[in-house]
A and B are shown apart, each in its own frame.
Chain A
Amino acid sequence: MTISAPRYTISRLDREPRWKRVRVIVFEGLMRRLAALNIVLIVLGALIVGVEVVLFTTPAFVALMSFGGPVGLSDFAVPFESTPYLLLATLLTASAGASSIAGDVADRSITLYLSRPITTGDYLVGKGSAVGLVLAIFFLIPGFAACLFAYIVGNVTVGLAVTAIGAFVVSGLLLVLFFTTLALFLSSLTRRPIFAGAAIFGVLVSAEVLAQLVRGVTSSAQALYLSPIEDLLAVAQSLFGVTPSIGAGSAAGVVLGISVVGSVVTYLRVRQVEVVG
């Protein structure tokens, strides 16, 4: 008698490609993240960008405020110098991103995701895209619309409007990348979305406070590299033709470095997530 080892043939059905499966996670995540609070934050952000850009590029307002000179690219950078706008961006990141992984672990819906034929990478790309899209609505669309509006109603040339749109897109994409990575990373560290939200807010604000304190003590602008917000502002200001306090290239390097390291650590962390309880 011979005994042979068992052999199984896994049936292969025609399945949709992985990117289409990831799209399901993106769509589901987007629907959840476009909750009332986030829409309010997006609308407030859009109002700030719209009002500031349109005001600062309207000849009558410029004349009234005695800024002097013609409208230039730097006038479009006003939102990036606005504390309420950056505060709203931080709040939106916390609100839209904190629960992206922590929420799934807390309510154990990650169990259902990971029982499907998707990889940890698919899951993270889906989650990140959903959060990123919400942030992109906040960072990209209002800037684009404001530039268009300024061109239509103001004294802005086509070339200037297009350049300003380009600057909004590039700086916006960098902001989206950084804030999304930060949100996913901190969300992967806990199963309580509220902790992740507090951490997002806390990390950004404390880094900013620390940078300003060190700058105050040392009188060196280099200390501002410590704050991701200052790094992002430096890149944005540079794109809009404003001379930043710190080097834009180095600041971009810091932000991209944090984003890459954050993504890798998040991936490794989620691979280790075990749903217990």
Chain B
Amino acid sequence: MTTPVVVATGATKRYGEVLGLNGFTAEFGPGITGLVGPNGAGKSTFFRVLAGQLHLDAGQITILGRPSSAPVRSNHEVGYCPESPTLYEWMSAEEFLRSLLRLDGFEESEARRRCTEALAQVDLLSSRDRKLAGFSRGMRQRVKIAQALAHDPTLLLLDEPLNALDPVSRAHLLDLFTRLAESGRHIILSSHVLYEVERLTDQIVMMSNGRAIAQGDLHQIRDLIDTRPLTVEVTTSDPRALGRALAGWEHVTDVSFPGPDKVVAQTRSPDTFYRALGELARTGDVPIRGVRGTDDNLEAVFRLLAE
């Protein structure tokens, strides 16, 4: 039996007449858990409550066995990467991290060491002396992640950590999160893109309108998703040939040509579609330059589960 790291029971948070959390009840186990939901589902509100920055109107949340209303005691154990691009613009990356580590209670030499380590982990060591005001969005995102993990917390709260990152940084950070989980850290990571979370974990909690609408093994939820149509956009130099091939697949329900090098297909079976498309690319009969799956089906599942 695994012990939950975070337990939310009927957690409710109101912003005036708007409900940020609406009786949110879920358990987050050890390792990595993905918190998935569309924009406005309440993911950031949940993280802010965990970080002690919002107070619940009803219900309760425990973090590592402690109530969320006692954040000061548990903040040593929690690393929080907020979604908002909050940085001290006038500082360099190193100054910024060091000052936060000093706030964590580390003495100067230890703060320096941890700062170097954290910046190396997010591949920003070469930019340590640059002012944060000049950082790109992707670099800012990495600095935020560095400050969350620099004090070596037990639990990492990462609110949309992969936003604005290029594919290389994204892959780098996914590996980093996996390594952190393997070394015994617990991570709760939010995203509105299910396929992003899929690479990291099987355990997910799905949110919609401030409530948990599904929780558990990703594959079970994927089975449900796979019953919904998925729209995939494929970039190719030969749309006519690709369209012909797609139209012959039994699970493809619609094919359209929105641009001179694009084909959009709708499929009832995403897994089968991606397998078949991979096979088609390998044969070389149809040149495929890119594939972009939209998450329209995920939205549909959210709606389905929320009903």
Contact = CB atoms under 8 A, between A and B. Distances in A.
B72 A21 contact: no
B191 interface: no
A163 B66 CA distance: 56
Interface string A120-155: 000000000000000000000000000000000000
B52 A114 contact: yes
Nearest to B3: A6
B76 A108 contact: no
Contacts of B15: 276
B64 A10 contact: yes
The SS class assigned to the A binding surface is loop
Contacts of B154: 11
Interface residues of A, number: 32
B106 to A, nearest CB: 7
A81 interface: no
B84 interface: yes
Contacts of A6: 3-4, 65
- Interface of B, secondary structure class, is loop
Contacts of B55: 274
Interface stretch (A24-32, A54-62, A220-228): A24-32
Interface residues of B, number: 38
B76 A21 contact: no
B74 A16 contact: no
Interface in B43-61: 48, 51-55
B104 A117 contact: yes
B168 interface: no
Nearest to A16: B105
A8 B103 contact: no
A188 to B, nearest CB: 16
B61 to A, nearest CB: 14
Interface in A101-116: 107-109, 111-116
Nearest to A8: B65
B6 to A, nearest CB: 11
B121 interface: no
B88 interface: yes
A261 interface: no
Given A108-B82, A111-B53, A112-B86, 7 more contacts: A13-B76, A17-B105, A109-B88, A116-B75, A118-B103, A274-B55, A275-B54
Which 4 pairs of residues, A with B, have the shortest CB-CB distance? A15-B105, A8-B65, A6-B3, A116-B103
Interface of A: 3, 6-8, 10-11, 13, 15-17, 20-21, 24-25, 28, 32, 107-109, 111-119, 274-277
